[in-house]
A and B are shown apart, each in its own frame.
Chain A
Amino acid sequence: MIRYIASRLLLAIPTVLAVLTLVFFVVRVIPGDPATAALGDYASQEAVEALREKMGLNDPLYVQYFRFLSDLLRGDLGTSMITGKEISDLVRQVLPYTLELTITAIFIGTILGVPLGIYTARHVNTSIDYIGRVVSLAGLSVPAFYLGILIMLTFAYKIPIFPAVGGGDLTDLNSNLRHLVLPAMTLGLIMTASVTRLTRSAMLNVLKDDYVRTARAKGLSERIVVLRHALRAALVPIVSIIGVWAASLVADSVLTETVFARPGLGKMLVSAIMQRDYTLLQSVMVIYALFVVGINLITDIIYSFVDPRITH
């Protein structure tokens, strides 16, 4: 297993490098530049040119590229072209917000989605099953920002029990938790819909299998049959979808972060694109790439625990 993890980590290096190279050149193809974005329209062309020079944007592309790579190899993410702050500091400040949001959303999505999926599979073609299918389809169809505004409208304005905006203070649990509930609910409910549908589908397949019939014939209780025998076999696709969601939620959080005005990596990414903050954008993309690689690795490792037949 350790050898497998090491080989996967080594394989991640070219993946991350490819992402970096792609991002580096793509952002420079987009019209507009950081100096114009930073100084606004009031600044003269002379001032814009002076800032471009200062930012190193007049250097040849390959010089900029290798400067970026060499900094990265030394573990230096560099400084933001716009604010001049260390990118590692900026990321350190917002990463906890994205992590707590993503983890809570995955928790909500899993803890609601899996039982609901099992329950509807157990009661297939009943009214509860139909309701579950319609609701989960609606959950998949509604955009995160729209659901976010609806939830905000309900629980922050009509029934004002949670704050509408902001990320709260990370050092204050109350404040942090209160600010986390509505955005986590938004992302979590969307994930719930997806997990519910997939769990239901996986369980329906498994529940028809011979060994489930055999287990029932042996007189095992329905709870044991479903949870110990059927669910275990259905877990592989469920873990897969949770893994996919874990990776996409980090990216999807951008809309939720914008609607709820929370700091976070997703919002940082969009802001970096809008401001043409090349160095910040590149660094955030490195972090995203590492996230995806890490989540995929964790998912693969979990497979082997869920299904011992899977070997690496």
Chain B
Amino acid sequence: MKRFVLLGSILLLLLFALAACAQATPGAPAEEPPAAQPTEKPAEPTEKPAEPTEAPPEPSEPMVLRYADKAADLGTMDPHFAAATNDRNLVDMIFNALVRYKPGDGSTFEPDLAVSLPEPEVVDGKQVWTFELRKGVMCQETKETPAYELTSEDVVYSLQKSANPDTSAYAGEYNGMTVEALDDYTVKITLEQPISPILFFPKVADYAGGFIICKQHYENVGAEGFKTNPAGTGPFKFESYTPQDKVVLVANDAYFRGRPKLDRVEYRFMPELNSRELGLKSGDLDVINGQNESDWVKRMDQEEGISVDVYGVGEVATIHFNTSVKPLDDVRVRKAIAYALDRDEFLALFGGPPVAEKVYSAVPAKFLPGGLTKEEVEELGLDYARDLEKAKQLLAEAGYPDGFSLEVVSSERESYLKPYTSMQAQLAKIGIDIKITTVDHSSMHKLIRQDVNPIVVYVAWRPNADVYLTRFYHSDSIVVTGAKPDTNFSHYAGIDDLIEAARVEQDADKQVQMWKDAQIKLLEEMISYPILYMNQVTARHDYVDYGHELKSVLALYPQIDETTTINK
């Protein structure tokens, strides 16, 4: 018997010893600003067009960056459908656009596939934007499609695809836009309705529908195939996808800004935070998606050799009141709720700055023009500083001296559940009883669009003030009953004229003022209560150098590009 036990133990020990002694797998390296403003001098390209820089000396071992995201799996790498953060991260590395947000700084536009940022012209009452393309930009080689030079044909094809609801999730952004190729390197975009650069450039920038795909490859692999076998012109090209495990990207040797310093990027799907953390600490990972909590940031920052980056853009958490149902149809009730809430209590749940910071208007002033600052709302008396007596008095005036009850659904995600539970505790002090039913995230999105919640907490980033205001406050966007039902949970229709006027306003200052006026009205009528915005948190080994300063990134990751390197 003892021999049997002994034999088993020896076999197991041998197995572990064999595995432990085996060579490690190769792959690891040898051991308040304005948003999205065009750069000052748009007429000249910032880089030499189409001249690949000299390749760096051949490294002894491939330089691999191992990034772990909190997603469980890939959704799609078709950039015009990519909506989840992990999908956006990947397409950001594979594709380019006519213009781009400056790496690490989402407040500035610069040319990307275009040689410069054009000035618009007005022809027959329509607005025309003419883009000159870089020459020598190569579409990535794939098994199905040889490398070829990107031309205006690809650009026109891409933007038309973005405008088609069958092939894009962002088609609505391209209504009233026609795209045509004037020659191989010139693309003309005509808008029925003139808009300001601040609203136009996001449509052709490296975010959502603006990404340019390679037409030949898309046609070769088909729409379904493109989701997991994409090709663009970006610094990295797709190599492989293992379900629930990782996507591997390799350096695009022919990248027009020069060959990337990294040889490969392994983008891993790891939903479990503890696993990502241990993977980083043990050296199996180089960069991980962190937790939106200041305590986590402090703890990880104390680890030797590890740094945590906290950066924008911040996703804004806002409380929307359904003004079409009782008792929230009474402005006194909404104001009573506002006076009962305290942003500091919400903030405390996330450990406060730098991860979470207070916000005072629907549009976050720190990241986008058109937002209201704390000083501005205080000056207008619209900051709704906590005043429980005033809140109770307003409730009594509205006929609810003993409060009332409401039922809401919340996502299971902390970014939603925490604000809901904090709101529940705060409103209990004035007799308002909120019952929360927790459902999974996808179900919550479905249910709130069916108008089940009288109060909706929504956490979102939108690329400009127009999109924020249109989608959350324009009457067309009213859930269920709007002309284009979207995310107007308030059923509010009081700022349509301001939104529409601002959209076509060419004078940037006047446009910003209109957006601010619209939000002042929202606060005066307490249509929604802005709580806080949550920044992005990533942790990395000190040897990882992104190649740019991290201020704000629309793709919600540190932005890995041709300049990113590992200095071990």
Contact = CB atoms under 8 A, between A and B. Distances in A.
Interface string B149-186: 00000000000000001101111100000000000000
B283 A160 contact: yes
A244 interface: no
Contact of A38 (B1, B75, B223, B246): B75
| Most chain B beta-carbon contacts within 10 A, residue among A40, A51, A168, A260 | A40
B73 interface: yes
A115 B8 contact: yes
B317 to A, nearest CB: 13
A36 interface: yes
A47 B162 CA distance: 11
A283 to B, nearest CB: 12
B270 A44 contact: no
Contact of B278 (A44, A45, A152, A173): A152
A273 B465 CA distance: 35
Contacts of A162: 19-20
Contacts of B171: 44, 46-47, 50
Given A156-B284, A181-B19, A261 B268 contact: yes
Interface in B166-214: 166, 168-172, 208
B272 interface: yes
A167 interface: yes
Interface string B1-36: 110110011011001101110111100000000000
A39 interface: yes
Contacts of B169: 39, 42-44, 47, 51
Interface stretch (A27-35, A234-242, A290-298, A300-308): A27-35
Contacts of B282: 156-157, 160, 163-164
B445 interface: yes
B451 to A, nearest CB: 12
Interface in B445-498: 445-447, 449, 458, 460, 462, 471, 484-487
A167 B72 CA distance: 14
A116 B5 contact: yes
B72 A47 contact: no
B243 A93 contact: yes
Interface string A80-115: 001111000010011000000000000010011001
B72 A274 contact: yes
B242 to A, nearest CB: 6
B550 interface: no
Nearest to B482: A45
A289 to B, nearest CB: 20
A263 B245 CA distance: 5
Interface in B224-249: 224-225, 227-228, 242-246
Nearest to A185: B16
Contact of B443 (A31, A43, A167, A261): A31
B274 interface: yes
A83 B284 contact: no
A165 B224 contact: no
Contacts, number: 219
A253 to B, nearest CB: 12
A236 B284 CA distance: 44
A153 B73 contact: no
Contacts of A163: 24-25, 282, 284
B11 to A, nearest CB: 7
Contacts of B1: 115, 118-119, 122, 222-223, 226-227
A261 B446 contact: no
A47 B168 contact: yes
A210 interface: no
The 6 nearest A-B residue pairs measured at CB: A40-B83, A84-B224, A174-B22, A32-B442, A31-B443, A263-B245
Interface of B: 1-2, 4-5, 8-9, 11-12, 15-16, 18-20, 22-25, 68, 72-76, 81, 83-84, 165-166, 168-172, 208, 223-225, 227-228, 242-246, 268-272, 274-276, 278-279, 281-285, 439-440, 442-443, 445-447, 449, 458, 460, 462, 471, 484-487
29 contacts: A37-B442, A38-B76, A39-B169, A42-B208, A43-B83, A44-B471, A83-B74, A85-B227, A93-B242, A94-B244, A94-B245, A115-B4, A115-B5, A115-B8, A149-B274, A152-B275, A153-B278, A160-B282, A165-B284, A167-B245, A174-B25, A178-B25, A180-B19, A181-B20, A227-B1, A259-B272, A261-B276, A263-B244, A274-B440
Given A44-B471, A178-B19, A181-B19, 17 more contacts: A32-B443, A44-B171, A44-B172, A50-B166, A84-B227, A85-B243, A111-B8, A116-B5, A165-B268, A174-B19, A175-B22, A181-B20, A260-B275, A261-B276, A268-B73, A275-B75, A275-B442
Interface of A: 30-33, 36-47, 50-51, 54, 79, 82-85, 90, 93-94, 108, 111-112, 115-116, 118-119, 122, 145, 149, 152-153, 156-157, 160-169, 172-175, 177-178, 180-181, 185, 222-223, 226-227, 257-264, 267-268, 270-271, 274-276
